[in-house]
Structure 1
């Protein structure tokens, strides 16, 4: 997969968490993902379609990180994954995809974005609607881990 597609999502994710929740995340080592099992406890998934490429992008949060990001963004403490958490993960997914879409647009790639879907639960699956390599990028913070998956058809 073209690194031109990957880097905007990574930088946008780092920026959104820093700006919205003052959470600093550090990227780990990328790998190719061969299965559909999410690495986190709650995941947001969004599809992106353009004239020359289509793909999808997901963010999976460990429960601990999701709860802490919610607390830092909203100012309320929640102990368990709930509808409030899934709403927040959907919104973060949308903001990250929007930031990446803007960066990709500056490079001449135009995309329309779908509405994000959010899935929770242990060992839930993420099904990218595109045939292509899935890049998995882990992130770590003092509040827990997150994982980004990016899959484009080129």
Structure 2
């Protein structure tokens, strides 16, 4: 998976959280992910398909970090992962993917985005609908961890 395709998602996440929640997340080291277990407590996942590529993007937050982001965005801190926090995770997923889509479009990659799905709960799974390799990248903040996953495969033009 090339950096030209991954970096727009990393930058979009940083931009969205910086702008919407005045928060800075520290990126960790990307790795290949072999399983479907989510590393966080609430995840937004969105599918993408275009002429050259198909794949999906997800972002998972630990509960404490998701609640902290919600607090920074709306001024009240929820105690748990309620419906409003889940909606916020869906919106963040949408905004990050939209930001990456714009950057990738400028590089000649076009794709359509599906509506994000949000899953929450301990030990939930994330199922990417693509045969490509799954890249996972951790981000840290004093309130907890976030993880983005990107899974793409190039579509051969036959």
Same structural fold, with TM-score higher than 0.5 when normalized by the shorter chain:
yes
Matched, 1:9 2:4: no
Q: How many residues align?
A: 154
State the SS of the aligned residue for 2:79. Answer: coil
State the SS of the aligned residue for 2:37. Answer: coil
- The residue that corresponds to 1:114 in the other structure is 114
Structure 1 residues not aligned, in runs of 5+: none
- The residue that corresponds to 2:133 in the other structure is 133
Please provide the CA RMSD for this pair.
0.6
How far apart in 2 are the matches of 1:63 and 1:82? 10
How far is the alpha carbon of 1:5 from its aligned partner?
Answer: 1.1
How far is the alpha carbon of 1:3 from its aligned partner?
Answer: 1.4
Runs of 4+ in 1 over 4 A off after TM superposition: none
Matched, 1:41 2:38: no
Structure 2 residues not aligned, in runs of 5+: none
TM-score by length of 1: 0.99
- The residue that corresponds to 1:52 in the other structure is 52
State the SS of the aligned residue for 1:153. Answer: strand
How far is the alpha carbon of 1:120 from its aligned partner?
Answer: 0.3
- The residue that corresponds to 1:149 in the other structure is 149
How far apart in 2 are the matches of 1:59 and 1:77? 20
